[in-house]
């Protein structure tokens, strides 16, 4: 059972969100994995915090299917080479809805949450992948992969919320850096002559 308070879901929206998360958790446990379940809970929570929340109307199974469908589109769930993999028919059947209904509602979810190319809604393997688009930034008028740029530029991009973590020190290193537990210092300004 998801902790709706920890997800910062407004009290008035908790019954609707709980019903939707019940669906997403069940389908993720049966057909996908825990990572999809976590992404779905976070997406539902964000939709519940919208004013007015679109979750106030419609069937929980439709919203749940649309959230998973939208996450699936962002994470290539429907590509046979991805793991996990589902067809749109399998996903629609799991929620008892038509593909067209889920597809239409998924577009609404993606638009409301600005999901496309947003690392917040991407699986870890998608973000960390060699060809992941989340690492492309515009620097000096050129689109560049931030992973190949100097650490101060990586830090600046991270602090501005452009990238999910500082690639030079990794996901765990960035978390340690944020908490002040890092065993080394990351210099923002390069020292002249080094």
Q: Tell me: the pLDDT tens digits for 22-49?
A: 999 999 999 999 999 999 999 999 999 9
Alpha-carbon gap, residue 155 to 91, rounded angstroms: 39
Question: pLDDT at position 184, please?
Answer: 52
154, 168 Cβ separation under 8 angstroms? yes
In the chain, domain spans: 11-125, 130-179
Question: pLDDT at position 118, please?
Answer: 86
Question: pLDDT at position 86, please?
Answer: 96
How many CB atoms lie under 10 A from the CB of residue 159? 11
**Collapsed DSSP state (helix, strand, coil) of residue 138:** strand
Alpha-carbon gap, residue 35 to 20, rounded angstroms: 17
Radius of gyration of the chain (CA): 19
Question: Residue 151's closest CA among 103, 184, 120?
Answer: 184
pLDDT less than 50: residues of the chain: 189-194
**Structure tokens belonging to residue 108:** 């609404």
86, 32 Cβ separation under 8 angstroms? yes
Question: pLDDT at position 186, please?
Answer: 52
pTM value is 0.82
* Superfamily (CATH H level) for 11-125: Cyclin-like (1.10.472.10)
**Structure tokens belonging to residue 125:** 């393997």
Number of H helices, E strands in the chain: 8, 2
Question: pLDDT at position 183, please?
Answer: 57
188, 152 Cβ separation under 8 angstroms? yes
């Amino acid at each position: 059972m998801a902790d709706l308070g920890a997800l910062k879901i407004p009290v008035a929206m908790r019954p609707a969100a709980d019903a939707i998360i019940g669906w997403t958790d069940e389908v993720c446990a049966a057909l996908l994995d825990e990572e999809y379940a976590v992404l779905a809970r976070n997406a539902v929570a964000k939709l519940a915090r919208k004013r007015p929340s679109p979750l106030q109307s419609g069937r929980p199974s439709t919203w749940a299917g649309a959230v998973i469908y939208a996450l699936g589109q962002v994470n290539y769930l429907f590509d046979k080479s991805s793991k996990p993999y589902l067809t749109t028919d399998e996903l629609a059947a799991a929620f008892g809805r038509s593909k067209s209904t889920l597809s239409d509602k998924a577009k609404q979810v993606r638009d409301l949450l600005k999901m496309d190319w947003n690392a917040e809604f991407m699986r870890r393997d998608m973000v960390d992948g060699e060809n992941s688009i989340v690492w492309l930034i515009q620097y000096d008028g050129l689109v560049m992969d931030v992973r190949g740029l100097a650490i101060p530029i990586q830090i600046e991009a991270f602090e501005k919320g452009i990238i999910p973590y500082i690639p030079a020190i990794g996901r765990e290193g960035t978390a340690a850096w944020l908490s002040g537990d890092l065993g080394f210092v990351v210099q923002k300004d390069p020292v002249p002559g080094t």
